[in-house]
Amino acid sequence: MESLPAYLADVIKEFVNAIDKIYTKKSAEVHTTKESIYMYEILIYLFENYFDKGGYPDSAVLTHKLTIAGFEEDEINRALNWLSDLTKHDTDHYPATFAQSNSLRWYTPSEMEVIDNEGRGFILFLEQAGILNPLQRELLIDRVLKMNGNNSSLEKIKLVVLLDLWIQNQLTDLNILEKLFTASNPRYRH
């Protein structure tokens, strides 16, 4: 994998710091459980420590390393189970032709309770930018809905997208990373 341009590395660091601030913040705006905070911390740890390696070790080695890093076993299991679901690419619920669909996505009221306007707008942006096809969009929405917590902010959605692209080995395309971070953040637009 070619190395990241400096500005993209800075964007990723800023993104990780923003997520850290969100989950350490004690305000009424953040509707998340203690368990989801730990899960996100574990997922961020995995991304920070294994991104450059292009993958992550098997679950036994990973569990051992996460335990040494200070995470508890139930937290590790919850995060690894969620990550395992992410790697399954379960498309049984959707026809194969759905990936080529050009239909418009309407969110259910329960989906809108979990994914806010900013998050839905970002998902639409990803689809319009060609980063996600309709099938990937549906899988992303399913994954976001399966996460702990009452609300999925933009940062959570970006984390899921990053992890999913990383697992699919699509993060080797620096254009995708650039679209993912810079186009959604006016500070980094060219």
- Domain assignment present for 83: yes
Total number of domains constituting the chain:
1
Look at residue 31 in the predicted model and tell me its pLDDT: 39
- Domain assignment present for 1: no
Q: In the 3-class helix/strand/coil scheme, how is the chain assigned residue by residue?
A: CCCCCHHHHHHHHHHHHHHHHHHHCCCCCCCCCHHHHHHHHHHHHHHHHHHHHCCCCCHHHHHHHHHHCCCCHHHHHHHHHHHHHHHHCCCCCCCHHHHHCCCCCCCCHHHHHHECHHHHHHHHHHHHCCCCCHHHHHHHHHHHHHCCCCCECHHHHHHHHHHHHHHCCCCCCHHHHHHHHCCCCHHHCC
- Domain assignment present for 60: yes
- Domain assignment present for 59: yes
Span 121-156, pLDDT tens digits:
999 988 888 888 888 888 888 888 877 655 557 777
- Domain assignment present for 18: yes
Which whole number is the average pLDDT over 99-128? Answer: 87
- Domain assignment present for 130: yes
- Domain assignment present for 62: yes
Which whole number is the average pLDDT over 53-65? Answer: 78
Domain that holds residue 74: 6-188
